[in-house]
Chains A and B, each alone.
Chain A
Amino acid sequence: MAEMVQKGSLIFFMVFWAVSIGFLVLSISIPKGQIYTIPLELIAVIIAILFAILAYGTRFHSPIIIEFLNQRKKLIVLNNDYPYYIYPSNDAIVRKLSSEYVATVIIKLPMYRSATEMSEEERYTFAKNIGRALTLSDKPVRFASQLYYMNNESYISVIREQLNKAETELLSLQQQNVPQEKIEKAKGQLAMWRNILSAVSSSNAMQLDSVVYVSAKGVRDYEAVAYAQQRAREIISGIGAIFGVIPTIVTGQDIIKYIEPEGVITEAIVTEKIKKEISD
């Protein structure tokens, strides 16, 4: 999109501007004095003004204007390709531009310490370190904090397993001749796991991830990926030195989590929301 804006805007600006001047001249040169020439003059003036406005519009909107004039449909298609594809090495996304490729690598930052655990001085240092991290590269880098619904299915299955174990243990203790205290303790544990399951299942847990997106261009796709990975390694070592953590490159299907909206809100969450709305 940015490419198209840069290339087309000035040429289209001049074309529309020239058409506007043409209709302006036409409106003045229409012979005066006849009643039927008045609508023609007004139409020529309106078209001249319209093209003058369109000329300015091409400054930032030339792709939309040109495609609309070409397609003349209510859905203006700027691009019929997918916005990216995952590179075969599974650690980058790539897109083909007109004469080159662009690749993005995503880096995950493992930062789990809460600000409430930090002293004033530590919070000051942490905030200053964020500022230092932003200046790691003289090329654009995107730092992001993503809050999204946690896929807690595996977590729930672990809790269910613990619940089943607690139930089995209680049943076996009740069949044996053991002190009442042990049975009460087993009952307490069972109640605890039931409460945990109920609390975790009743609401959607949220998860916060910090990631960094690094892009690079290249004449070939593998070149773009190599440059992006090189930049990613520089960012990784910089962040490692600043925060004392070991960032990693996001690979495989985890990339979808930080790129696509369905990675942020999974189908399971949407289905649950719909069920809840229906029951309400």
Chain B
Amino acid sequence: MVDQETVIFTLFAAVPIIVIMALSGAYGKYVNILVIIIALIGLALLLALAFADFLIVPYFMNLFGLKVQPAKDFTTNRQQNAIIKQSNGIYYTIGYLTANLYSYTFKQELSEEDTYQKIINSPLIWENIISSVKVPFRYNIVSFAENVQKVREALEAQRGLKESQLTKLMQASKTEFSSAVADLQRAINIIQRKIDRISAGEKPVRTIMYIEVFGAGVNEKAALDDLEYNIDQVRSAFASFDIEINRVAGRELFVLFEFGFFLPSSYSDIEQLFSKEE
């Protein structure tokens, strides 16, 4: 699910393209077909930029051979998925991988037993990963506690809404709604479990998790090849943690590069840097 801001920006930016398509008749008998084709291509590119800019922007940067220097001595590669630094004749590279862990325990509906098992096994799994990886990397968690009262109120509001929907469905008492009733009851249970955990003293937390992988070589190509090899090693080592690891490319590469030195001072600053997805 995509945030409202992206939809609004996309619609606004698409207005000229939509107007061109609507007024295509004004361009002449055969020209209008060409104009519609060009407008459709433009619209496709705009949608790709809005919802997959991490693919589109690096592709065009690579196509035109463009690189970016985010700070002195640091540049990106053409694919915009690695940072390169030269120091004393040696080239160093940094690649970034996303690796979100917390969401799967908090969002999924797991039984208490399953959660307990996952928690007691996680330190062992982590040590197995560390002992099996022979390449340098840094696992990062950018975290901050949320306001307990606000989160609790939001959860109670959600629960109230689901309960009123459930009441309406049960009053209708038709058999075709039985699966919808079951879904709502499950959703209410998940929300209630979260409220119970907050009541028991757990603080809600927002996290951004990512892995920095490092490479080095005598020239840029050797360093980038070393980085690719190291990334593959880290990916296969973390496979046992049952998380999805994605290579970061494009604008989010610059954000994580900045995080390497300085963090934003509040969550609202961080929110503006990433595309929001629920």
A199 interfacial contact with B, CB 8 Å? no
Tell me the bound Cα distance from A252 to B141 in angstroms.
24
Contact of A95 among B64, B120, B203, B261 (CB under 8 A): B261
Chain A residues within an 8 Å CB radius of B90 = 262, 267, 270
Chain B residues within an 8 Å CB radius of A56 = 9-10, 13, 46, 49-50
Tell me the nearest residue of chain A to B74, going by C-beta: A83
B14 interfacial contact with A, CB 8 Å? yes
**1/0 contact string of B227-245 vs chain A (CB within 8 Å):** 0000000000000000000
Contact of A53 among B13, B121, B264, B270 (CB under 8 A): B13
**1/0 contact string of A246-265 vs chain B (CB within 8 Å):** 00000000000001111011
What is the distance, in angstroms, from A232's C-beta to the closest C-beta of chain B?
13
Tell me the bound Cα distance from A200 to B68 in angstroms.
41
What is the distance, in angstroms, from B217's C-beta to the closest C-beta of chain A?
8
A196 interfacial contact with B, CB 8 Å? no
What is the distance, in angstroms, from B198's C-beta to the closest C-beta of chain A?
11
A276 interfacial contact with B, CB 8 Å? no
B143 interfacial contact with A, CB 8 Å? yes
**1/0 contact string of A45-57 vs chain B (CB within 8 Å):** 1101111110111
Contact B67 A76 (CB under 8 A): yes
Contact of B94 among A45, A48, A143, A261 (CB under 8 A): A261
Contact B144 A137 (CB under 8 A): yes
Contact A141 B263 (CB under 8 A): yes
Contact A74 B66 (CB under 8 A): yes
Contact of A139 among B122, B134, B266 (CB under 8 A): B266
Chain A residues within an 8 Å CB radius of B251 = 60-61
**1/0 contact string of B16-44 vs chain A (CB within 8 Å):** 11011001001110010011001100100
Chain B residues within an 8 Å CB radius of A17 = 12-13, 15-16
Report, as a range, how many residues of chain A touch the other chain: 35 or more
What is the distance, in angstroms, from A214's C-beta to the closest C-beta of chain B?
8
Tell me the nearest residue of chain B to A269, going by C-beta: B216
Contact of B39 among A49, A57, A216, A273 (CB under 8 A): A49
A191 interfacial contact with B, CB 8 Å? no
Contact B265 A261 (CB under 8 A): no
Tell me the nearest residue of chain A to B48, going by C-beta: A53
B71 interfacial contact with A, CB 8 Å? yes
Chain A residues within an 8 Å CB radius of B59 = none
Contact of B127 among A50, A76, A115, A216 (CB under 8 A): A115
Chain A residues within an 8 Å CB radius of B88 = 262, 267
**1/0 contact string of A104-132 vs chain B (CB within 8 Å):** 10000000001110101001101110011
Which A residues lie at the B interface, using CB under 8 A? 1-2, 5-6, 13, 17, 20-21, 24, 27-28, 32, 38, 41-42, 45-46, 48-53, 55-57, 59-61, 64, 68, 74-84, 93, 95, 102-104, 114-116, 118, 120, 123-124, 126-128, 131-132, 134-149, 204, 206, 208, 213-217, 259-262, 264-265, 267, 269-270, 273-274
- A-B residue pairs, 8 tightest by C-beta: A49-B42, A115-B123, A261-B92, A56-B13, A135-B203, A135-B145, A83-B71, A134-B143
20 contacts between A and B (CB under 8 A): A1-B70, A17-B16, A38-B28, A45-B39, A74-B67, A76-B68, A79-B71, A80-B69, A82-B71, A83-B70, A123-B124, A127-B119, A128-B119, A141-B142, A148-B214, A213-B263, A216-B265, A267-B88, A269-B216, A270-B90
